Structure 1
Amino acid sequence: MTALERDAGVQGRLGAWVSERVSVAVSEFTAAAALVVLFVALSLASPNFLTADNLFNIGSQTAVIAIIAVAQTMVIITKGIDLSVGSTAALAGVMAAIVVRDLGVSVWTAALVAIAVGAACGLVNGLLVSVVRLPPFIATLGTMSAGRGLVFIVTGAVGVYSLPESFQLLGNGQIGGVPFAIVVTALVALAVGYLLSQSRFGQHVYAMGSNLEAARRAGIAVRRKLTAVYVLAGALVGLGGVIAASRVNSGQPNYGIGLELDAIAAAVIGGASLFGGQGRIAGTLIGAFLIALVRNGSVLLGISIHYQQVIVGLIIWAAVAFDQFRRRRLEARG
């Protein structure tokens, strides 16, 4: 290969890298613009939107969606999908509520239990994907069904109540007027964002999503790293589950049904590609806030929950279609 050919190859790769970064930035800017427009529209449409109570509610609601969407983003970057986030969150929240009610442990111990439950579910997903080599869709679909069944078995399909007020700290507490859940979400986003963008592990995650076989040939321990991604994602889902349970001061076996749609939508709206190898936590947070505003605004305007599902479905269609459009343009540029 001549020096000219090498230079051309380097310039081509650099051009592709720049195009990809520009594409992600455009997605994030578009999502941010939509978020601003929706915020202004709801402010004008409902006198209750800008009240302190409603904004606090949006913050707490966004926290759960955002944390679980961050977990989903990590999986999507590896070219996977996690359909079990809803049942995992429900199982984690229920188990946290049970140990608080029956063992009298603190909310912090309950949170650790929920995180451990989520990590265990993530470990199952990770082993099924990386060792058994099931497609992520099938592996996590099975975990979704098994997890939901386990929730109903543990609770007898009845909510877990009679919890102390201290359990509400994670979901309803404040620090200097800021919802505690938002503080936790910010810390999670910063930590995972740093992990993905600044660490060797993060580089491997993106590499596996871009080309799994090439990553394996480059010496990346694909099985171990993939499993680690699912375990970490499961732990975050468990954290989201205990925050959700804390918001209502109970463990609800029906919680999280359809939550995987919101998590996927938030990730894709924020620029994560279902084709793998692309996505940023900042974009996911924007997507999570957008989904939370859609949910909250629909309630304030009296829009049926069934129409809310239609709206979220349309958003997912639009986001995925835009993702495919971006991907085709990048491929066309070489």
Structure 2
Amino acid sequence: MAQLDATMPKPRPGFLMAAVFERFGLLIFLGVLLVAAALLSPTFLRPANLVNVLTIAAPLGMVVLGQAFVIMVRGLDLSVASLMATVAVLATAFKATSNDMIPAIFVAAIVFSALVGFVNGWLVAKRNVSPFLATLAMMIILQGVRFAYTGGAPISTLPPGMSFLASGRIWGIPVNLMTLAVMAIVLAFVLHRSRLGREIFMVGSNPKAAFLNGIAPDRVTIICYVICSVCAGIGGLFLLGYVGTVSNWVGQGYELDSIVAAVMGGVALSGGRGSIAGALLGVAVLVVIGNLVLLLGFPIEMQLIIKGIIIIGAAAFYRTRLP
């Protein structure tokens, strides 16, 4: 036995290092980024700033959770930001000043979002419209609906409790972050411990093979788009409470940030691979980058350039492949 062990090849250090980067690359990058942020701006580590970072991260995290489901079945959703803004407008349509109306606002937002997600999923799964075109068209439609209702003017009629949900704290922890944690736990269970989750991975990996195994790829795809839109709708309400005023551009940029965060977190655009934890890790990287360039006082042009460069670096760092 000792002779056999002596003849067995030992793993190369480079191979082991590549394996570590493959599994924990983005986490390592986030750690390096946090250290760099602390060194470049002492303000970054102040409790008030850290709480602010977590508060801002929560709505994007909610959108990313849903976007991950869609990407895992080989799709994407460009309508999430427009849906967030439309849901915000829907919330103000109640003209509510009492917290008693908050449950009704959430129910209406979730139902409306589910309907939008169903239409997106139906177009992609049943009519074979490309996810890009289907969700781009939905984005434009929702934008038109918002402008027709608001006339382009901001609205601010909201129950005071919406602000607490979006930026309040319980035991020092942002309420919206608690909500994100609950959503992440539920969706992680669905993805990694339920039959639907197994079907999502199978459809994403090979739709034809999934069909031959008795799975309906169309049904799974539509469900994923519904999940995505509902997550975006909830995120829109929390972002609305944080901003406090509805404009037609609430959530602008979240469609691309959610895709970048999910893919950077290991959700494969080719489908069939990804995790909730990885997607949220991508959110953390994006939010820390945004906060750091803001603290350093860079002009908006430089902020965008630096953000893009760091995102590319993070993705390349995480995507190190085994030889």
TM-score band (shorter)? Answer: 0.7 to 0.9
Q: Secondary structure at the match of 1:30?
A: helix
1:213 aligned onto 2:218: no
Matching residue's letter, 1:93: A
Q: Match of 1:306?
A: 301
Contact 1:98 1:160 in 2 (8 A): no
Residue identity opposite 2:304 in structure 1? Q
- Once the two structures are superposed, residues 234-288 of structure 1 have per-residue CA deviations (whole angstroms, 9 ceiling, x without a partner) of 0011000000001022222112222111101111111111111111000111110
Quick one: structure 1 residues 86 and 301, their matched pair in 2 at CA, closer, same or farther if it must change by over 3 Å?
A: same
Q: Deviations over 1:127-159 (max 9, x none)?
A: 110111111111111111112222222221111
Q: Where do 4+ consecutive residues of structure 1 move more than 4 Å?
A: 25-28, 102-105, 315-326
How many residue pairs get aligned? The number is 306
The corresponding residue for 1:252 is 247
Equivalent position of 1:38 in the other structure: 33
Distance 1:320 1:300 in 2: 23
**CA shift for structure 1 position 219:** 1.3
Residue of structure 2 equivalent to 1:5: none
Question: Runs of 5+ in structure 1 lacking a partner?
Answer: 1-21
Indicate conservation of the 8 Å contact 2:286/2:311, yes or no.
Answer: no
Tell me how far apart the structure 2 counterparts of residues 131 and 263 of structure 1 sit (CA, whole Å).
Answer: 25
Counterpart AA for 1:188: M
Q: Counterparts of 1:312 and 1:83 in 2: how far apart (Å)? A: 20
Cα distance in 2 for residues equivalent to 1:296 and 1:228: 34
Question: What's the counterpart of residue 81 of structure 1?
Answer: 76
Distance 2:280 2:185 in 1: 11
Contact 1:28-1:283 within 8 A present in 2 as well = no
- The 3 A distance-change label for structure 1 pair 186 and 104 is closer
Q: 1:139 aligns with which of 134, 150, 173?
A: 134
Is 1:97 aligned to residue 92 of structure 2? yes
Q: TM-score, normalised by structure 1?
A: 0.85
Q: Provide structure 2 residue ranges, at least 5 long, that are not aligned to the other structure.
A: 1-17
**Cα distance in 2 for residues equivalent to 1:265 and 1:83:** 12
Distance 1:293 1:184, change over 3 A: same
> Identical aligned pairs, as a percentage?
35
* TM-score where L is the length of structure 2: 0.87
CA 256–197 in structure 1, closer or farther in 2 if over 3 Å, else same: same
Local SS of the residue matching 2:91: helix
- Contact in 1 for aligned 2:97/2:160 (Cα 8 Å): no
Q: Is the 8 A contact 1:27 1:269 kept in 2?
A: no
Is 1:282 equivalent to 2:280 in the alignment? no
Cα RMSD of the aligned pairs, angstroms, is 2.3
Aligned to 1:115: 110
User: Quick check: 305-314 or 102-111, which moved more?
Assistant: 102-111
Deviates more, 1:122-131 or 1:43-52: 43-52
Partner of 1:150: 145
